[in-house]
A and B are shown apart, each in its own frame.
Chain A
Amino acid sequence: MNKFEYGIAKNIEGAFDFLKEPDSKIKAGGIDVLDLMKEGLEAPKRLVNIRSVPDLRFINKGENGELRIGATTTLAEIESSKTIKAAYPALAQAAATIATPQIRNVATIGGNLCQRPRCWYFRSEDFHCLRNGGDTCFAEDGENRFHAILGNEDDCVVVHPSGTAVALMALGARLVIAKNKEKRELALADFWVTPEDDVTKENILQHGELITEIILPKPRQNESSFYFKQQEKQSFDWPIADVAVSLKLKGKQCEDARIVLGSAAPIPWRVKAAEQVLQGKPISIKLAKQAADAAMKDAKPLSENAYKVAVFKAVIYRTICWAAGVDPFAT
């Protein structure tokens, strides 16, 4: 790890002051950025701690029934929030299944959204890959059992790592991004950058910008959501497939659906073809399986990860069922 300055921001203005140094990085929980520095993938001159900013850590009800979550709210706070558990269960479930309790006590929701991919080539200083500014994707013809099966045609085949991003997308979340005194709001769906657009970035944040809030819209009537993460190991493992489903239901009838996949593509991947299968129909295991098939229709597995298609099909149909209150294992 390189030597670096450490700026401890007392408030949001202070954070922006520290960020005036062009070679600086934001640190919230520090889970990912310190890993990247230890691996030698990041070597900022200055690290700006925003975990010390009290104004960024909150879960508040907004004016129009929306919920506003401060960017440095920890995953542990989110998983245990009664409001979130009641109104946005998919988010609570996503937060509750990330990493380990120790990490969730420190990791923040903003940091979770901004974390970089876990591709073992990208994460290793032994490989200078495309995403690190090199000219090769080592995974494409290499060890790619955990890599992308969708959206993987533009050279880099990483998968998106954030579980909360998947849940938040399904819940229609928006972000507030600030730079000095300016603020803008955008849909989380528009936050992501595909490899085709810029292979070295995962999101649109520019240097000096900060996510300050995540806004969850007021739940629609009869909205129900569910998130499920399938791991190989049950303790501390990244998903091989994770899925968030949000349904607007009338009885078992699906009036509207949002289905988002994580660990499938370089960005959280919304599968509209699968949503359409559910539209206007009563949710059953059979229908959910049809939707899962539709979600995987465009999957293009790499040499080692064809199994992920089967895993996704299972996790998608089960998560749809769980969101609709149907037992996916009923015989």
Chain B
Amino acid sequence: MPREVTLKVGVGKNLKERIVEIPDNAPRPWDGSDDLKYVGKRVPRVDGRDKTSGRAKFTFDIQLPGMLHAKFLRSKYPAAVIRKIDTSKAIKYPGVKAILSVQDKLPLIVRFAGQEILAVAAETAHQAAEALKLIEVTYDVRKFVVDKDLAKEKNAPTVFNTQVEEKLTEGDLPGEHSEVTQKGNVRGPNISPKDATPEKIDAALASSFAVVEATYRTQVQTHSAMETHGVVVDWTAEDKLKCWASTQAVFAVRDELAGSFKLPKSNVRIITKHMGGGFGAKFGVGIYGVMAAKLAREAKAPVRLMLDRKEEHLCVGNRPDSVQSLKIGADNDGKLTGIKLISYGTAGTGTGAGTSGPAKNIYEYDHFYSEESDVFTNAGPGAAFRAPGHPQGAFALEQAIDELAYKLKIDPLEFRKINTPNNEIRQAQLKIAAEKSGWARRNPNPGADKGPIKRGIGIANSVWYYFYGRNFQVSTQVNNDGTVKVTNGVQDLGTGITTVIVTIAAEELGLKPSDIQVSIGDSEYGYGPASGGSVTTGGLSPAVRDSAYAAKMKMFEIAAPMLETTADKLAAADGKIFIKENPDKSLSWKQVAKKIPGDNFIAIGERKEDYHKLDIGTIHGVQIIEVAVDTETGVVKAERVYAVHDCGRPMDLLTTESQINGGIIQGISYALFEDRILDRNTGIMVNSNMEQYKIAGALDTPEIESVVLNVHYGQSSTGAIGIGEPATVATAGAVGNAIFHATGVRVRELPMTPDKVLIALEAMKGASS
């Protein structure tokens, strides 16, 4: 029977009562009145020591007896038809055990430089590499296009001659599948809202008091996770497959392998004990996973296939680039009247270049129109990447908002308040951010510093959405020696779900985090979430708590006769089970565990539907960034960041802050450095390494001060929602606004490298003289 509980919900300390209906066997949700011992506090990463000492075993580290090493042969050309492949010399090379083409029959159509042609498995990696050199491929080289603007032209070489189906992973926004047209290399436009027309928005903007209009460009960013993509595959029987995978979706990899080899799910086991990051590019099994399994079957030996850094840049995903023409208007009170966005970008041979999320979902406005297109080019396919579409969308939108504020002579932070009047969370965050950063001390006039090095402060908002998934199964096993083990199939993307599980279980069971063992990353355990869309913590944590709660109830049933009371009168804390009304009457956890019949019991918690829909279904965040711009060299340094974010109730504050830090650093890197550069004349990436593909390092990292604003929803037993993606959305836009505040110049193209900053400064000089 469901029961009703009255919870304290709200933003920060501004709480009100809300009646929530919960299942009878579920714990009362944590709310604003609960001050918890571990949850929301700083619990150190439980696998930190293993990771820093090298004890943690990643897919990369797996070594099996008789294991072969596999490598891909990849196309040198961005567009070609392969009609002949001669492997006769390679197959005779010492140590080579199998060679398989990615496509059974030729011709094979090549659409980007780096596309897989075939794979070789040999006894050593060196032999595989040498054998690849002996393979003769006859290419019928075709015309290619890697520039998205050239690709839009009428006579451009077409990347696809057929209609392309959009492929979505767990990392992509679950949008409506739109019926869009594809003509030449352009797929789209996708118009939103459905009934909108350019005429209506143009009329609304024409009658606005103030309008700003500009075009923004963002670059292609590659995921560049620390661990590359890859698998180790072992056929343990003719119809049984074991696979270690560097993945953010253990169960999706299992399903794809089972599907590819027509095996029952129970015959495929995926293991991901530790993995070195994915950022959205590691959802499926990939061609590499399927090929590794085929090679292993062919060679009758385990196969390891890990990509190298170059392949990582070329073939397994990237954040698409964009060109966004944005026109926004406001009335003389500073209220937004309308937003018009025309956007296109290329995800290479993939789709997903949309950017409209921030424009649609941050501010309140009267009119909206967006038009988004994908442009196909002969480049590696895009993939979901930490808040797909949003850092690029926010870079444009947040600069436009800033520009409009200046035009109206309204403080940019105040302007953001004016245009989010009904969002209590944003109002609270903007207030905190202003206080933390000392916004009031900021000189309202841009470019006010004397001397060549000028400092500026910029602000930008973030937006993401609350997704959580359903039906995850967490089990808590209590052994009769008192030890506790919590198990779920979920992988730890690096965000700290392992620590979150420990924290929640310790809290619920009244034990210490060090008393809890966790086992994750195995498709033979209970169903767990794919780590995409920032769902892992919001999705899994209620099942963890409910499972621990169920285990606690079992322990109370055992303890009740021992304490001569009933289970409903008991509580657990500090390693003891005691009578609520009379805490002196207690037993240690271990004393009770001794009475467990048999050896152990297992209690299951399941992720169900939220108890109610959130009033505001978005995740927010605001970042204020201080930069120093060297106006003579164009070099920008981000010096300080104040970040205010929300994620419902944070489970472990330490890993939450770590996520925010990571999002900001990745955002700074996106704003200032990262850029996939394809050679215009050959279509080959010139900086497919970690030296010339520039990623922010320690000295490029600003001082970061973050505030996690507690928001109590009471929507689930833990009240957690995600943080991974929203943390990176605002950063590049805030840097752009800080550069404007420092110099009086807008840099509307990413990355904001010295060449672009100097060109923008030069253009201003030209305009003012």
A residues 216-252 in Cβ contact with B at 8 Å: 230-238, 240-241
For the complex, what is the distance from the CA of A314 to the CA of B633, rounded to whole Å? Answer: 6
For the complex, what is the distance from the CA of A183 to the CA of B365, rounded to whole Å? Answer: 79
Q: How far is the CB of A33 from chain B (nearest CB, A)?
A: 16
A126 within 8 A of B: yes
Contact of B451 among A230, A305, A331 (CB under 8 A): A331
**Given A138-B681, A234-B699, A329-B451; A310-B758 close (CB under 8 Å):** yes
For the complex, what is the distance from the CA of A36 to the CA of B759, rounded to whole Å? Answer: 35
Do B682 and A138 touch across chains, with their CB atoms under 8 A apart? yes
For the complex, what is the distance from the CA of A1 to the CA of B758, rounded to whole Å? Answer: 41
**Given A120-B692, A307-B755; A138-B679 close (CB under 8 Å):** yes
Do A234 and B686 touch across chains, with their CB atoms under 8 A apart? no
B754 within 8 A of A: yes
B contact residues around A307 at 8 Å (CB): 634, 754-755, 758-759
Contact of B694 among A233, A304, A310 (CB under 8 A): A233
B contact residues around A234 at 8 Å (CB): 637, 697, 699-700
B residues 563-609 in Cβ contact with A at 8 Å: none
B contact residues around A127 at 8 Å (CB): 682, 684
For the complex, what is the distance from the CA of A120 to the CA of B677, rounded to whole Å? Answer: 11
Chain A interface size, under 10 / 10 to 19 / 20 to 34 / 35 or more: 35 or more
Contact of A313 among B450, B632, B637, B696 (CB under 8 A): B632
Contact of A235 among B684, B696, B753 (CB under 8 A): B696
A residues 305-331 in Cβ contact with B at 8 Å: 305-307, 310-311, 313-315, 329, 331
B residues 379-437 in Cβ contact with A at 8 Å: none
B258 within 8 A of A: no
Q: How far is the CB of B126 from chain A (nearest CB, A)?
A: 8
B41 within 8 A of A: no
Q: How far is the CB of B684 from chain A (nearest CB, A)?
A: 5
Contact of A141 among B76, B451, B681, B758 (CB under 8 A): B681
**Given A127-B684, A143-B686; A237-B694 close (CB under 8 Å):** yes
Do B453 and A121 touch across chains, with their CB atoms under 8 A apart? no
A contact residues around B681 at 8 Å (CB): 138, 141-142
Contact of A232 among B673, B679, B688 (CB under 8 A): B673
Interface of B, helix, strand, loop or mixed by DSSP: loop
For the complex, what is the distance from the CA of A54 to the CA of B634, rounded to whole Å? Answer: 45
B101 within 8 A of A: no
B259 within 8 A of A: no
A124 within 8 A of B: yes
A contact residues around B113 at 8 Å (CB): 126
B contact residues around A300 at 8 Å (CB): none
A281 within 8 A of B: no
A contact residues around B210 at 8 Å (CB): none
A145 within 8 A of B: yes
For the complex, what is the distance from the CA of A196 to the CA of B535, rounded to whole Å? Answer: 60
B687 within 8 A of A: yes
B13 within 8 A of A: no
B264 within 8 A of A: no
B contact residues around A121 at 8 Å (CB): 679, 686
B residues 52-105 in Cβ contact with A at 8 Å: 76
B contact residues around A235 at 8 Å (CB): 696-700
For the complex, what is the distance from the CA of A331 to the CA of B453, rounded to whole Å? Answer: 12
A contact residues around B759 at 8 Å (CB): 307
A contact residues around B758 at 8 Å (CB): 307, 310-311
For the complex, what is the distance from the CA of A68 to the CA of B687, rounded to whole Å? Answer: 38
For the complex, what is the distance from the CA of A85 to the CA of B113, rounded to whole Å? Answer: 48
Nearest CB to that of B133 among chain A residues?
A40
Q: How far is the CB of B130 from chain A (nearest CB, A)?
A: 9
Contact of B633 among A3, A236, A305, A311 (CB under 8 A): A311
Do A331 and B754 touch across chains, with their CB atoms under 8 A apart? no
For the complex, what is the distance from the CA of A310 to the CA of B755, rounded to whole Å? Answer: 9
For the complex, what is the distance from the CA of A128 to the CA of B453, rounded to whole Å? Answer: 42
B18 within 8 A of A: no
Q: How far is the CB of B127 from chain A (nearest CB, A)?
A: 11
Q: How far is the CB of A237 from chain B (nearest CB, A)?
A: 7
**Given A120-B686, A126-B76, A329-B452; A311-B677 close (CB under 8 Å):** no
B635 within 8 A of A: yes
A contact residues around B697 at 8 Å (CB): 233-236
Q: How far is the CB of B522 from chain A (nearest CB, A)?
A: 35
B16 within 8 A of A: no
B49 within 8 A of A: no
B680 within 8 A of A: yes
**Given A121-B686, A127-B684, A232-B754; A331-B679 close (CB under 8 Å):** no
Nearest CB to that of A99 among chain B residues?
B691
For the complex, what is the distance from the CA of A1 to the CA of B126, rounded to whole Å? Answer: 8
Nearest CB to that of B669 among chain A residues?
A233
Q: How far is the CB of B682 from chain A (nearest CB, A)?
A: 7
Contact of B635 among A138, A142, A230, A238 (CB under 8 A): A230
A residues 91-129 in Cβ contact with B at 8 Å: 118, 120-121, 124, 126-127
Do B633 and A310 touch across chains, with their CB atoms under 8 A apart? yes
> Which residue, A3, A232, A241, has most C-beta atoms of chain B within 10 A?
A232
- Could you show 18 A-B contacts with beta carbons less than 8 Å apart? A118-B692, A121-B686, A126-B113, A138-B681, A138-B682, A142-B686, A143-B679, A143-B686, A145-B755, A232-B673, A233-B700, A234-B637, A234-B697, A235-B700, A237-B694, A307-B755, A313-B632, A314-B633
Beyond A230-B633, A311-B754, A331-B451: 14 further Cβ-contacts under 8 Å? A121-B679, A127-B682, A231-B635, A232-B635, A234-B699, A235-B696, A235-B697, A238-B691, A241-B633, A304-B755, A307-B755, A310-B758, A311-B758, A314-B633
Measured CB to CB, the residues of A under 8 A from B are 1, 3, 118, 120-121, 124, 126-127, 138, 141-143, 145, 230-238, 240-241, 304-307, 310-311, 313-315, 329, 331
Task: Kindly list the 5 A-B residue pairs having the minimum CB-CB distance in the complex, ordered from nearest.
Answer: A235-B697, A314-B632, A234-B699, A307-B755, A120-B686
